[in-house]
């Protein structure tokens, strides 16, 4: 979204705990899965959305690409949290071409950095040509040094980074492909990674509200580590599988963290609802590795008082069972929503 036809690219989601890769082919609007995989990252490779150990990240990307036999060089990735600024602004109605010329000047008052140090992108959400003559624009900005760091990592891994998107919008892409929501349907897409939670309220293909919260699946891992005195790897396994002798104590820990996450989701969506007028959320879709945690969807549903389900990123994507083990795809499915959305991107996309 922040970078620069239609050539296949590989979607690579670099999260704080793992790297996910998805490759899709597209023919007449139908997508087929060509590659999918996931490899863990060292725990200190990414801290607070910053690439701390680029050597490990490069090696993990290389290993993942090699293990999957991917030959595609062009890649897309995404950013979130404090790496990106997303603002909805009101401007006088103008054409996209006019806005392209003026966006840097218009954006200056909303960006807390020197405008020359950021990459800017925008999307016109609606243009009111009535008396007010105003339009709503979604403004997206990221520091050039952050983008350059990702470009360098991909170059070292033998890939060419051609598209940089935003986590929330990548999930939105894959949601709309798989669920074909109606124009009036308002849903919340919540992607919960290891250290960050992306919230995106969507209606009719437009993003109404986004928020990133520095909170995620590490809460479970850290609490399990603390309570059971196990390694982070063992804690991660216990979190996902619920495989531990003291089931009652584990259930109590999981329930407690489920409640913490549910409260934060409720707080964020309450903020949206307080300003949403008649565009109230009707349903929530969860993605990210954390979505697999026992009873989390139920806890969120109870807290919000609305239906909550796991987002299925491969629901309408053709997956050849001779090439992909259905059980493996089901296992990694919650983890790859962002990567799958990135894999839908093509060169020349905005």
> What is the model's pLDDT at position 48?
83
Tell me the H-state helices in the chain. Answer: 54-68, 96-107, 144-156, 167-179, 218-228, 232-241, 247-275, 296-304, 326-332, 337-343
pLDDT score of 344 more than 70: yes
**What is the percentage of the chain residues whose pLDDT exceeds 90?**
76
Convert the pLDDT of each residue in 34-68 to its tens digit: 999 999 999 889 988 899 999 999 999 999 999 99
Residue-level pLDDT at 277: 76
Cβ atoms of 294 and 247 within 8 Å: the answer is: no
Contacts of 46 (CB under 8 A, 6+ apart): 14, 15, 16, 52, 53, 57, 195
Exposure b/e, 52-83, CB count within 10 A at least 16 = b: ebbeebbbbbeebbeebebebebbbbbbbbeb
Q: How far is residue 295 from each of residues 17, 253, 261, 309, measured CA to CA in Å? A: 22, 12, 12, 11
Higher pLDDT, 264 or 294: 264
Q: Is the pLDDT of residue 130 over 60?
A: no
pLDDT in tens, 295-307: 999 999 999 999 9
Q: pLDDT at position 260, please?
A: 98
Q: What pLDDT, in 10s, does the model give residues 201-210? A: 999 999 999 9
Tell me the pLDDT band of 1, cut-offs 50, 70 and 90: very low
The residue with greater pLDDT, 76 or 136, is 76
Query: Distance between CA atoms of 230 and 128, rounded to whole angstroms?
Result: 58
Each residue of 216-275: pLDDT tens digit? 999 999 999 999 999 988 998 898 888 888 999 999 999 999 999 999 999 999 999 988
SS (H, E, C) 184-239: CCEEEEEEECCCCEEEEEEECCEEEEEEEECCCCHHHHHHHHHHHCCCHHHHHHHH
In this model, does residue 293 exceed pLDDT 70?
Answer: yes
Q: Is the pLDDT of residue 186 over 60?
A: yes
Indicate the DSSP class of residue 348.
T
pLDDT in tens, 270-283: 999 988 877 899 99
190, pLDDT greater than 60: yes
% of the chain with per-residue pLDDT over 70? 95
Mean pLDDT of the chain: 92
Mean pLDDT of 301-326: 97
Q: Where are the domains of the chain?
A: 10-343
Which pLDDT score is estimated for 8? 86
The answer on pLDDT for 129 being more than 60 is no
Superfamily, domain 10-343 = ATPase, nucleotide binding domain (3.30.420.40)
Q: State yes or no: pLDDT of 350 exceeds 60.
A: no
* pLDDT value at 316 more than 80: yes
Distance CA 325, CA 345 (A): 25
């Amino acid at each position: 979204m922040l970078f620069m036809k239609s050539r296949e690219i590989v979607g690579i989601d670099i999260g704080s705990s793992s790297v996910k890769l998805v490759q899709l082919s597209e023919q007449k609007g139908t997508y087929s899965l060509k590659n999918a995989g996931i490899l863990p990252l060292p725990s200190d490779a990414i801290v607070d959305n910053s690439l701390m150990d680029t050597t490990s990240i490069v090696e993990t990307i290389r290993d993942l690409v090699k293990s999957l036999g991917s030959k595609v060089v062009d890649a897309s990735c995404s950013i979130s949290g404090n790496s990106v600024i997303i603002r909805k602004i009101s401007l006088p109605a103008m054409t996209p071409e006019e806005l392209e010329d003026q966006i840097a000047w218009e954006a200056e008052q909303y960006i807390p950095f020197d405008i020359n140090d950021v990459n800017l992108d925008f999307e016109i959400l609606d243009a009111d040509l009535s008396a007010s003559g105003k339009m709503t624009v979604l403004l997206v900005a990221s520091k050039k040094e952050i983008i350059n760091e990702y470009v360098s990592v991909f170059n070292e891994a033998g890939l060419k980074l051609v598209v940089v998107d935003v986590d929330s919008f990548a999930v939105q892409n894959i949601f709309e492909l798989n669920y074909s929501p109606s124009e009036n349907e308002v849903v919340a897409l919540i992607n919960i990674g290891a250290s960050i939670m992306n919230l995106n309220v969507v209606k009719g293909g437009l993003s109404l509200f986004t928020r990133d919260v520095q909170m995620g699946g590490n809460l479970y891992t850290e609490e399990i580590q603390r309570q059971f005195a196990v390694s982070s790897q063992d804690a991660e396994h216990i979190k996902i599988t619920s495989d531990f002798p003291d089931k009652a104590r584990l259930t109590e820990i999981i329930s407690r963290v489920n409640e913490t996450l549910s409260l934060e989701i409720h707080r964020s969506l309450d903020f949206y609802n307080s300003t949403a007028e008649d565009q109230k959320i009707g349903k929530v879709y969860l993605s990210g590795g954390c979505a697999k945690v026992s009873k989390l969807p139920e806890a969120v549903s109870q807290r919000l008082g609305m239906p909550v389900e796991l987002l299925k990123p491969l629901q309408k994507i053709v997956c050849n069972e001779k090439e992909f083990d259905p059980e493996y795809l089901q296992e990694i499915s919650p983890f790859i929503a962002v990567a799958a959305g990135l894999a839908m991107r093509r060169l020349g996309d905005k």
